[in-house]
Structure 1
Amino acid sequence: MRLIKVLAVLIVAGVIGLIGYAYLGDMEPVRQEVRSPVAIGGAGD
C-alpha cells in the first residue's frame, strides 16, 4: 500500500512538472521564411 502511495505522488509530481515546463519553459517555435516555386500549368502542359 505504501508503494502505491509513493508511486502516485511521483506520478502527480511528474505531471505537475510537465505542465509547469510547458507553460514556463522555453518552447517558442523557431520561425523562418520558406519560399518555394510553384509551377502553374498552361495550355501546352
Structure 2
Amino acid sequence: MWRIFKALLVLVVVGLIALTGYAYLADLSPPQTEVTKPVMLNAQ
C-alpha cells in the first residue's frame, strides 16, 4: 500500500513541476487583434 501512495505522490510532484515549467516557458499570450466598433451616444 505504501508503494502505491509513494508512486502517486511522485507522479503528483513531477506533474506540478512539469506544469510550472510549461507556464514559465510556453507562450501563453492571447492573439491580439484590433477591434473598432461605432458607439451611438444619446447626448442632449
Residue 28 of structure 1: how far off its partner (Å):
2.0
Rounded Cα–Cα distance in structure 2 between residues aligned with 1:41 and 1:8: 62
Alignment match, 1:33: 34
Identity of aligned residues (%): 47
TM-score, normalised by the number of residues in structure 1 = 0.82
Alignment match, 1:8: 9
Structure 1 gaps of 5+ residues are none
Residue 14 of structure 1: how far off its partner (Å):
0.5
Residue 42 of structure 1: how far off its partner (Å):
3.6
TM-score, normalised by the number of residues in structure 2 = 0.83
Rounded Cα–Cα distance in structure 2 between residues aligned with 1:39 and 1:4: 62
- Deviation string for 1:25-44 (max 9, x for gaps)? 1212211111111110144x
Task: Give runs of ≥4 in structure 1 deviating > 2 Å.
Answer: none
